[in-house]
Amino acid sequence: MLIRHGCEITVNCMQDTPLVCMLSARPELDPLLRGTATMSTVPPEPISIYFDLFGNRCRRLVAPAGDLTIWNDATIEVAREPDRVVPQAREIPVAELPDECLVFLMGSRYCQTDLMSQAAWDMFGGVAPGWNRVQAICDFVHQHIRFDYQQARATRSAFEAYGEGVGVCRDYAHLALTICRCLNIPARYVNGYLGDFGVPAVEPMDFAAWIEVYLEGGWYTFDPRNNVPRIGRIVVARGRDAADVPLINSFGPHILKSFRVWAYEVDSAA
């Protein structure tokens, strides 16, 4: 299936302000792009690209004083298949994990494993290790947190989400991956585009956050917010938590004036 995806974001800065943006699909998805992927600004500003420690594509620019609109648009071909479900996948002992997984066992800015460890083991220490334990964690988080855009808070941590029982998709992801890490299961934070394919449409569309967990056979997608396999995920960035993968990181104050996201299927003939 072909998915056109992108965003249009307008910010206002009081003075010239450096920005780093993560809005495009991950570099390993480039062979799946069809046509020309575009990222531009109004007014036009020079943009440079670098890749961070996690392999995410980052774009640097300087927003001038006043309004700046960022436009990102691309079409990608992905399989019309839901997220893989592998109930037989085992947990891997820490001593046998690949080196690159170890960082995803540790606490991070929004994922305080030290504060959540006792609760995690109390709730899930007795559950048989493996895929089903990770799914049990996602089931718990899905039921424990009440989704509420009006109560979104950029500084809310996993421990606070656990205590408050409310949040948005990033809070679901932070709590689930923190519990996984407490149980010595590598887990990383993912954000990206997720259109409403095969499910009722929700407006307005937004970027989505989910997690990937390392089990026997590699990294697998889990989504504690939606908690069902979904079609058409387009990964933008991966990291330890949301602090590693902000959509826009501004080195100075800015005001968000407008925000629009799209991800919809297009006709392959067109």
Interaxial angle between packed helices 169-182 and 113-124, expressed in degrees from 0 to 180 and rounded to the nearest 10 = 80
CB-based contact 167:209 (threshold 8 Å)? no
Regarding whether 21 and 154 lie in a shared domain, the answer is: no
Regarding whether 124 and 26 lie in a shared domain, the answer is: no
pLDDT of residue 198: 87
Higher pLDDT: 242 or 201? It is 242
pLDDT tens by residue, 242-263: 999 999 999 999 999 999 999 9
pLDDT tens by residue, 222-241: 999 999 999 999 999 999 99
Q: Is the pLDDT of residue 269 over 70?
A: no
Q: Is residue 88 in some structural domain?
A: no
The closest of 143, 145, 120 to 133, measured between CA atoms, is 120
CATH code of the domain containing 55: 2.60.40.2250
Q: Which domain holds residue 215?
A: 94-244
Regarding whether 238 and 119 lie in a shared domain, the answer is: yes
pLDDT tens by residue, 120-160: 999 999 999 999 999 999 999 999 999 999 999 999 999 99
When pLDDT is cut at 50, 70 and 90, the band that residue 73 belongs to is: very high
Regarding whether 239 and 166 lie in a shared domain, the answer is: yes
